Protein backbone atom coordinates (compact mmCIF):
# COMPACT_ATOMS: atom_id res chain seq x y z
CA UNK A 1 0.00 0.00 0.00
CA UNK A 2 1.05 3.60 -0.51
CA UNK A 3 1.69 6.13 2.21
CA UNK A 4 -1.73 7.67 1.50
CA UNK A 5 -3.36 4.36 2.43
CA UNK A 6 -1.67 4.12 5.83
CA UNK A 7 -4.00 4.75 8.76
CA UNK A 8 -1.50 5.98 11.35
CA UNK A 9 -1.05 4.72 14.93
CA UNK A 10 -3.84 3.04 16.92
CA UNK A 11 -4.50 2.16 20.53
CA UNK A 12 -6.92 -0.72 21.02
CA UNK A 13 -8.73 -0.54 24.35
CA UNK A 14 -9.66 -4.19 24.59
CA UNK A 15 -8.56 -6.60 21.90
CA UNK A 16 -10.53 -9.83 22.02
CA UNK A 17 -11.34 -12.01 19.03
CA UNK A 18 -12.77 -9.22 16.90
CA UNK A 19 -10.26 -6.56 17.89
CA UNK A 20 -7.38 -8.95 17.34
CA UNK A 21 -8.76 -9.89 13.93
CA UNK A 22 -9.06 -6.22 12.93
CA UNK A 23 -5.49 -5.57 14.04
CA UNK A 24 -4.13 -8.62 12.25
CA UNK A 25 -5.99 -7.72 9.05
CA UNK A 26 -4.73 -4.15 9.13
CA UNK A 27 -1.17 -5.39 9.54
CA UNK A 28 -1.35 -7.99 6.79
CA UNK A 29 -3.09 -5.52 4.48
CA UNK A 30 -0.40 -2.89 4.99
CA UNK A 31 -2.76 -0.35 6.54
CA UNK A 32 -0.55 -0.02 9.62
CA UNK A 33 2.79 -1.27 10.94
CA UNK A 34 3.36 -3.29 14.10
CA UNK A 35 5.24 -0.39 15.68
CA UNK A 36 2.14 1.79 15.31
CA UNK A 37 -0.14 -0.69 17.09
CA UNK A 38 -0.73 -0.65 20.83
CA UNK A 39 -3.26 -2.42 23.01
CA UNK A 40 -4.50 -2.31 26.57
CA UNK A 41 -5.14 -5.73 28.08
CA UNK A 42 -5.59 -7.73 24.86
CA UNK A 43 -6.49 -11.39 24.89
CA UNK A 44 -3.50 -13.72 24.82
CA UNK A 45 -4.08 -14.68 21.21
CA UNK A 46 -4.10 -11.05 20.04
CA UNK A 47 -0.82 -9.94 21.63
CA UNK A 48 1.31 -10.86 18.61
CA UNK A 49 -0.51 -8.26 16.53
CA UNK A 50 0.70 -5.34 18.64
CA UNK A 51 4.05 -3.67 19.01
CA UNK A 52 3.09 -2.33 22.45
CA UNK A 53 0.97 -4.12 25.04
CA UNK A 54 -0.04 -2.40 28.28
CA UNK A 55 -1.51 -3.86 31.44
CA UNK A 56 -2.25 -0.52 33.12
CA UNK A 57 -4.40 2.37 31.94
CA UNK A 58 -1.71 4.87 32.94
CA UNK A 59 0.90 3.23 30.70
CA UNK A 60 -1.49 3.11 27.75
CA UNK A 61 -2.46 6.74 28.34
CA UNK A 62 1.21 7.76 28.37
CA UNK A 63 1.74 6.07 24.99
CA UNK A 64 -1.35 7.82 23.65
CA UNK A 65 -0.11 11.17 24.95
CA UNK A 66 3.10 10.69 22.96
CA UNK A 67 1.10 9.90 19.81
CA UNK A 68 -1.17 12.92 19.18
CA UNK A 69 -2.36 11.50 15.85
CA UNK A 70 -3.24 8.07 17.24
CA UNK A 71 -6.76 6.80 16.87
CA UNK A 72 -8.48 4.82 19.61
CA UNK A 73 -10.37 1.58 18.96
CA UNK A 74 -13.00 0.53 21.51
CA UNK A 75 -13.30 -3.25 21.38
CA UNK A 76 -14.53 -4.47 24.77
CA UNK A 77 -17.90 -5.74 25.97
CA UNK A 78 -20.48 -2.92 25.69
CA UNK A 79 -21.64 -3.29 29.29
CA UNK A 80 -18.13 -2.23 30.36
CA UNK A 81 -18.37 1.14 28.62
CA UNK A 82 -19.56 3.19 31.58
CA UNK A 83 -16.64 2.18 33.79
CA UNK A 84 -14.03 2.41 31.04
CA UNK A 85 -15.30 5.82 29.94
CA UNK A 86 -14.94 7.08 33.51
CA UNK A 87 -11.30 5.94 33.52
CA UNK A 88 -10.48 7.48 30.16
CA UNK A 89 -12.52 10.68 30.29
CA UNK A 90 -9.69 12.67 31.98
CA UNK A 91 -7.27 11.53 29.28
CA UNK A 92 -9.57 12.72 26.52
CA UNK A 93 -10.43 15.94 28.34
CA UNK A 94 -6.73 16.80 28.37
CA UNK A 95 -6.78 16.76 24.56
CA UNK A 96 -6.02 16.76 21.76
CA UNK A 97 -9.09 16.06 19.64
CA UNK A 98 -8.87 12.39 18.71
CA UNK A 99 -10.58 9.86 16.45
CA UNK A 100 -12.43 7.13 18.37
CA UNK A 101 -13.73 4.11 16.50
CA UNK A 102 -16.31 2.06 18.37
CA UNK A 103 -17.28 -1.50 17.52
CA UNK A 104 -19.43 -1.79 20.65
CA UNK A 105 -22.63 -3.61 19.78
CA UNK A 106 -25.84 -1.79 20.65
CA UNK A 107 -23.98 1.36 21.72
CA UNK A 108 -24.70 4.52 19.77
CA UNK A 109 -22.01 6.93 18.68
CA UNK A 110 -23.75 9.62 20.74
CA UNK A 111 -23.39 7.47 23.87
CA UNK A 112 -19.68 7.03 23.21
CA UNK A 113 -19.21 10.74 22.54
CA UNK A 114 -21.07 11.67 25.71
CA UNK A 115 -18.96 9.31 27.79
CA UNK A 116 -15.57 10.39 26.42
CA UNK A 117 -16.22 14.11 26.04
CA UNK A 118 -15.94 16.82 23.43
CA UNK A 119 -12.44 15.87 22.26
CA UNK A 120 -13.64 12.50 20.94
CA UNK A 121 -14.49 12.39 17.23
CA UNK A 122 -16.58 9.24 17.06
CA UNK A 123 -17.01 6.81 14.18
CA UNK A 124 -19.13 3.73 14.73
CA UNK A 125 -18.24 0.55 12.86
CA UNK A 126 -19.94 -2.83 12.83
CA UNK A 127 -17.82 -5.64 11.36
CA UNK A 128 -18.84 -9.29 10.99
CA UNK A 129 -16.90 -12.43 11.85
CA UNK A 130 -15.48 -13.25 8.37
CA UNK A 131 -13.15 -10.30 8.98
CA UNK A 132 -10.94 -12.91 10.66
CA UNK A 133 -10.24 -14.34 7.20
CA UNK A 134 -9.87 -10.99 5.47
CA UNK A 135 -13.40 -11.34 4.07
CA UNK A 136 -15.33 -9.13 6.44
CA UNK A 137 -18.25 -6.84 5.71
CA UNK A 138 -18.13 -3.71 7.85
CA UNK A 139 -20.56 -0.80 8.08
CA UNK A 140 -19.13 2.64 8.89
CA UNK A 141 -21.17 5.58 10.14
CA UNK A 142 -20.28 9.07 11.30
CA UNK A 143 -20.89 10.04 14.91
CA UNK A 144 -20.52 13.34 16.76
CA UNK A 145 -17.68 15.56 15.53
CA UNK A 146 -16.40 12.99 13.00
CA UNK A 147 -15.38 14.45 9.66
CA UNK A 148 -14.66 13.01 6.23
CA UNK A 149 -10.98 12.28 7.01
CA UNK A 150 -12.08 10.27 10.06
CA UNK A 151 -14.48 8.16 8.01
CA UNK A 152 -11.85 7.54 5.34
CA UNK A 153 -9.31 6.51 7.95
CA UNK A 154 -11.75 4.01 9.49
CA UNK A 155 -12.65 2.66 6.05
CA UNK A 156 -8.99 2.07 5.25
CA UNK A 157 -8.43 0.22 8.50
CA UNK A 158 -11.40 -2.10 8.09
CA UNK A 159 -11.03 -2.28 4.32
CA UNK A 160 -7.74 -4.12 4.85
CA UNK A 161 -9.82 -7.07 6.07
CA UNK A 162 -12.70 -7.07 3.61
CA UNK A 163 -15.31 -4.66 2.28
CA UNK A 164 -16.80 -1.57 3.87
CA UNK A 165 -20.01 0.35 3.32
CA UNK A 166 -20.83 3.80 4.65
CA UNK A 167 -24.32 4.07 6.10
CA UNK A 168 -26.43 6.33 8.28
CA UNK A 169 -26.25 5.15 11.89
CA UNK A 170 -30.00 4.67 11.85
CA UNK A 171 -29.41 1.64 9.62
CA UNK A 172 -26.83 0.05 11.93
CA UNK A 173 -29.32 -2.32 13.59
CA UNK A 174 -30.55 -3.38 10.15
CA UNK A 175 -26.97 -3.99 9.02
CA UNK A 176 -26.35 -6.06 12.14
CA UNK A 177 -29.42 -8.18 11.44
CA UNK A 178 -28.27 -8.74 7.88
CA UNK A 179 -24.47 -8.93 7.87
CA UNK A 180 -23.70 -9.37 11.55
CA UNK A 181 -26.09 -12.29 11.94
CA UNK A 182 -25.84 -13.31 8.28
CA UNK A 183 -23.04 -15.87 8.70
CA UNK A 184 -25.27 -17.75 11.15
CA UNK A 185 -27.99 -18.02 8.49
CA UNK A 186 -25.49 -19.58 6.09
CA UNK A 187 -24.25 -21.96 8.78
CA UNK A 188 -27.86 -22.87 9.55
CA UNK A 189 -28.38 -23.91 5.92
CA UNK A 190 -25.10 -25.84 6.02
CA UNK A 191 -26.34 -27.70 9.13
CA UNK A 192 -29.35 -28.95 7.20
CA UNK A 193 -27.23 -29.97 4.21
CA UNK A 194 -24.85 -31.84 6.52
CA UNK A 195 -27.68 -33.74 8.19
CA UNK A 196 -29.11 -34.72 4.81
CA UNK A 197 -25.70 -35.86 3.56
CA UNK A 198 -25.29 -38.22 6.49
CA UNK A 199 -28.83 -39.53 6.07
CA UNK A 200 -28.03 -40.31 2.45
CA UNK A 201 -25.04 -42.46 3.37
CA UNK A 202 -21.96 -40.21 3.46
CA UNK A 203 -19.78 -40.53 6.53
CA UNK A 204 -19.17 -37.45 8.71
CA UNK A 205 -15.82 -36.53 7.15
CA UNK A 206 -17.14 -36.85 3.61
CA UNK A 207 -20.29 -34.88 4.44
CA UNK A 208 -18.32 -32.03 6.01
CA UNK A 209 -15.99 -31.82 3.01
CA UNK A 210 -18.87 -31.74 0.55
CA UNK A 211 -20.88 -29.13 2.45
CA UNK A 212 -17.94 -26.86 3.26
CA UNK A 213 -16.66 -26.79 -0.29
CA UNK A 214 -20.12 -26.32 -1.76
CA UNK A 215 -20.89 -23.36 0.51
CA UNK A 216 -17.42 -21.83 0.03
CA UNK A 217 -17.56 -22.23 -3.74
CA UNK A 218 -21.06 -20.83 -3.99
CA UNK A 219 -20.10 -17.84 -1.88
CA UNK A 220 -17.06 -17.17 -4.03
CA UNK A 221 -19.18 -17.44 -7.18
CA UNK A 222 -21.70 -14.96 -5.79
CA UNK A 223 -18.91 -12.58 -4.76
CA UNK A 224 -17.22 -12.66 -8.17
CA UNK A 225 -20.31 -12.56 -10.37
CA UNK A 226 -22.11 -9.37 -11.43
CA UNK A 227 -25.36 -11.37 -11.49
CA UNK A 228 -27.97 -11.35 -8.74
CA UNK A 229 -28.50 -14.35 -6.47
CA UNK A 230 -31.75 -15.09 -8.30
CA UNK A 231 -30.00 -15.11 -11.68
CA UNK A 232 -27.29 -17.44 -10.42
CA UNK A 233 -29.88 -19.78 -8.92
CA UNK A 234 -31.83 -19.82 -12.17
CA UNK A 235 -28.70 -20.83 -14.08
CA UNK A 236 -28.39 -24.06 -12.10
CA UNK A 237 -32.12 -24.83 -11.92
CA UNK A 238 -33.36 -26.72 -14.95
CA UNK A 239 -37.11 -27.07 -15.26
CA UNK A 240 -38.15 -30.46 -13.96
CA UNK A 241 -34.60 -31.25 -12.83
CA UNK A 242 -33.04 -32.23 -9.53
CA UNK A 243 -32.35 -28.68 -8.35
CA UNK A 244 -35.92 -27.62 -9.13
CA UNK A 245 -37.17 -30.52 -7.02
CA UNK A 246 -35.05 -29.35 -4.11
CA UNK A 247 -35.85 -25.65 -4.34
CA UNK A 248 -39.53 -26.53 -4.76
CA UNK A 249 -39.49 -28.05 -1.30
CA UNK A 250 -37.87 -24.87 0.06
CA UNK A 251 -40.54 -22.75 -1.64
CA UNK A 252 -43.35 -24.92 -0.27
CA UNK A 253 -41.88 -24.56 3.23
CA UNK A 254 -41.68 -20.77 2.91
CA UNK A 255 -37.93 -20.73 3.50
CA UNK A 256 -37.28 -17.47 1.67
CA UNK A 257 -39.97 -15.68 3.64
CA UNK A 258 -38.53 -17.16 6.84
CA UNK A 259 -35.10 -15.76 5.98
CA UNK A 260 -36.60 -12.32 5.43
CA UNK A 261 -38.41 -12.54 8.76
CA UNK A 262 -35.20 -13.71 10.46
CA UNK A 263 -33.33 -10.60 9.31
CA UNK A 264 -36.16 -8.38 10.53
CA UNK A 265 -36.24 -10.20 13.89
CA UNK A 266 -32.49 -9.79 14.36
CA UNK A 267 -32.74 -6.11 13.48
CA UNK A 268 -35.60 -5.64 15.95
CA UNK A 269 -33.68 -7.39 18.73
CA UNK A 270 -30.65 -5.19 18.05
CA UNK A 271 -32.81 -2.11 18.53
CA UNK A 272 -34.17 -3.54 21.80
CA UNK A 273 -30.68 -4.26 23.11
CA UNK A 274 -29.60 -0.71 22.32
CA UNK A 275 -32.45 0.63 24.46
CA UNK A 276 -31.64 -1.77 27.30
**Of 28-32, 162-166, 188-192, 244-248, the least confident:** 28-32
Return the CATH number at 231: 1.10.3730.10
User: Do 73 and 125 fall within a single domain?
Assistant: yes
pTM of the predicted structure, to 2 decimals: 0.91
Closest to 139 in 3D by CA, of 181, 81, 179:
179
- The residue among 130, 152, 171 that closes a domain is 171
User: Do 116 and 202 fall within a single domain?
Assistant: no
Output the average pLDDT for the chain.
Answer: 94
Q: What is the total count of domains within the chain?
A: 2
The mean pLDDT value for 3-29 works out to: 86
- DSSP assignment letter at 241: S
Alpha helices in 66-108 (DSSP H): 81-93
pLDDT for position 265? 96
pLDDT for position 69? 94
pLDDT for position 49? 84
In this model, does residue 4 exceed pLDDT 60? no
User: Do 57 and 100 fall within a single domain?
Assistant: yes
Query: Could you tell me the strand order of the sheet in which 136-142 lies?
Result: 52-54, 37-42, 10-15, 71-74, 98-102, 120-126, 136-142, 162-166
User: Do 127 and 186 fall within a single domain?
Assistant: no
User: Do 230 and 96 fall within a single domain?
Assistant: no
User: Do 229 and 99 fall within a single domain?
Assistant: no
3-state SS record for 137-184: EEEEEECCCCCHHHHHHHHHHHHCCEEEEECCHHHHHHHHHHHHCHHH
Whole-number Å distance between alpha carbons of 41 and 14: 6
User: Do 126 and 195 fall within a single domain?
Assistant: no
User: Do 127 and 197 fall within a single domain?
Assistant: no
Q: pLDDT tens-digit profile of 31-46? A: 999 999 999 988 877 8
Measured at the alpha carbon of residue 193, what is the angle toward residues 191 and 195, in degrees to the nearest 5? 70
| N- to C-terminal Cα separation, the chain | 42
User: Do 157 and 185 fall within a single domain?
Assistant: no
User: Do 193 and 65 fall within a single domain?
Assistant: no
In this model, does residue 1 exceed pLDDT 50? no
Do strands 37-42 and 52-54 pair parallel, antiparallel, or not at all (unpaired)? parallel
Domain range spanning residue 34? 3-171
Amino acid sequence: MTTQQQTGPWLFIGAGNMGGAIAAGALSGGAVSTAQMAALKPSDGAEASFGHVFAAVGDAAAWLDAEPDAGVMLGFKPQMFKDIAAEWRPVFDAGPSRLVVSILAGTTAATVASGLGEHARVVRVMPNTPIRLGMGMSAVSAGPRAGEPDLVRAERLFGASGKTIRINEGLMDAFTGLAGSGPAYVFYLAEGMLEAAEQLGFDREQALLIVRQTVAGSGALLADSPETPRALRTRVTSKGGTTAAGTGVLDDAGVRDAVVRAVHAARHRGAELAKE
